[in-house]
Structure 1
């Protein structure tokens, strides 16, 4: 079996894969100078890709899957798989495993940070303090913080990340409503679980709504004007799933008309109609949403935290080991559903 690392893996990383795999497994990685250690070019990988049985990595150059005639498995070291050509994998019979849950703690903490920063007007008050400017009048609507304690949080997409957000929210004694495709699958810290068909009855109850859904053909643009109109005007919307699940124009209109109190996101719109990987997940809004005074943003940084990279690689290796042993893949992706 031949395993191709799609990034400039260190000797320790290559050896960790080799030691975990059956004797005789060939493990290769690109060599030489690089711009980003976690990316590589088609030309760097082409010679090794043609006869590789498995890929493992963070980014796949365009055209590489097409030339990999022996390819049977891709271990994708991310949770989301929407940037991959799932139909090509289905046609070729290539299995796909991700590392869902590896970044759940980090992304959930980012969601809570964004939620708190919106509620507490952190940037406004930080800037006022830097300028030695007292906010006046006291308790003015434009200066007063919101609170999380006792409020209702709606988690749309109660998977590994959404469930962790629910757990963290319980530290603030929040009431948590979950929405997921399979509402029969419970989550420990969700007070009540609802199906996606119940979304419009859940949203009016929420003071905060967090989007933690993957991007699929069903979720692409699913959160638009009807959903925003169903929310309280005093509510906040936080997105740590994918930017494209929210309709950009409808969000802009809600934020600038007073229909929505605030928005925060770590993920933004992807306008790329081609297959270029990895995508940045931060393309400045065509309407300048990131510049609005009631908006906070980070640039796809939620996963950039201690321990995440190491866990990504560790879990990717687990999928390689399972595949080599002929076992079911714990984190296999259903290429039809996209998750």
Structure 2
């Protein structure tokens, strides 16, 4: 069996991968751009491909039985172009890391450790307990709105409840009542959702129905004190509407991890938007890092390896995006 890890992202999952398999397999790691004939031949010969993208411009892997995305999003995979013989699967395992990212960003806004440390080193006791003008905020009692209630939303809700927060959810399908939730909305009835939350976390996948789902009308409905997080896909929040809401002070701030433009392999100095978000002081910008941890890699490696072994044994695969013909 030939297993190909295609591209920089996928190659992160290759170290130690052979040790998770109990079958004879050859592992090849290929670059994003298949510029040599040897690389293109190897790709075309693959039985299994681990990769984040596929299109008709890539060699056709005629023997392919499994195309495994090493993440949740498969919007860069042209399912119609892949051989019908191949099942397509994705994997999660990033929800723990992303939930920690969200909680870290929330806590950073409410518990000013870094500022208190910096001030006290200069003899400034700005946050000293005992005077009303020196208090800082807390998360307990605040409302977090989760736009999307999949793996990520559920992980965030669990942690938010541990901090005694109120949890509102907006989801494509009705959400089963749960001790984690205080109120739920459907995606076709979001007016009340926008205005109900102090923090709104966007984690819906990018589809025709979710592109720009957070737009100008949504920002108008939000509290002026609201803070918006994006840990899903950049274009689920309208780029121009977000910039305008931040520059006009329509919302208090944003924490954005997923963006509108990304560097190509080997490209440096690329800003994440055509608009100057980097000049704003009310946005925290991170480079699509929220789910990228050692734990995420380990969990995803196990999912991919388990699916390969399931295929060998003729067992049903998990996280199937498209069944093989």
Partner of 1:34: none
- 1:75 partnered with 2:79: no
Question: CA contact under 8 A between 2:110 and 2:137: conserved in structure 1?
Answer: yes
CA distance in 2, matches of 1:260, 1:87: 41
Q: Deviations over 1:93-118 (max 9, x none)?
A: 63211112x11111100011122223
Segments of structure 1 that go 5 or more residues without pairing to the other structure are: 32-38
Question: CA contact under 8 A between 1:83 and 1:279: conserved in structure 2?
Answer: no
Question: CA contact under 8 A between 2:170 and 2:187: conserved in structure 1?
Answer: yes
Q: Deviations over 1:55-76 (max 9, x none)?
A: 124x458767542122232111
The partner residue of 2:89 within 97, 106, 110 is 97
Cα RMSD, aligned residues only? 3.3
- 1:308 partnered with 2:296: yes
- 1:290 partnered with 2:284: no
Equivalent residue pairs, number: 313
Question: CA contact under 8 A between 1:236 and 1:260: conserved in structure 2?
Answer: yes
Question: Per the alignment, in what secondary structure is the counterpart of residue 5 of structure 1?
Answer: strand
The partner residue of 1:165 within 156, 160, 165 is 156
Question: CA contact under 8 A between 2:56 and 2:81: conserved in structure 1?
Answer: no
Q: Deviations over 1:113-166 (max 9, x none)?
A: 122223446676666667777769x978xx975431111111111111110000
Partner of 1:30: 29
CA distance in 2, matches of 1:206, 1:9: 37
Q: Deviations over 1:249-294 (max 9, x none)?
A: 111111121210111122121378xxx78999x8422222233111
Kindly state the Cα deviation for residue 316 of structure 1 after the two structures are TM-superposed. Answer: 0.7
CA distance in 1, matches of 2:154, 2:89: 21
TM-score with structure 1 length normalisation?
A: 0.79
Kindly state the Cα deviation for residue 83 of structure 1 after the two structures are TM-superposed. Answer: 2.3
**Mean alpha-carbon deviation: is it higher for 163-172 or for 120-129?**
120-129
Q: 1:132 to 1:119 in 2, by over 3 A?
A: same
- 1:202 partnered with 2:193: yes
Q: 1:124 to 1:200 in 2, by over 3 A?
A: farther
TM-score with structure 2 length normalisation?
A: 0.82
Partner of 2:220: 229
Segments of structure 2 that go 5 or more residues without pairing to the other structure are: none
Q: 1:307 to 1:65 in 2, by over 3 A?
A: same
CA distance in 1, matches of 2:95, 2:157: 11
Q: Deviations over 1:13-48 (max 9, x none)?
A: 22433x1x4xxx5432138xxxxxxx5541363222
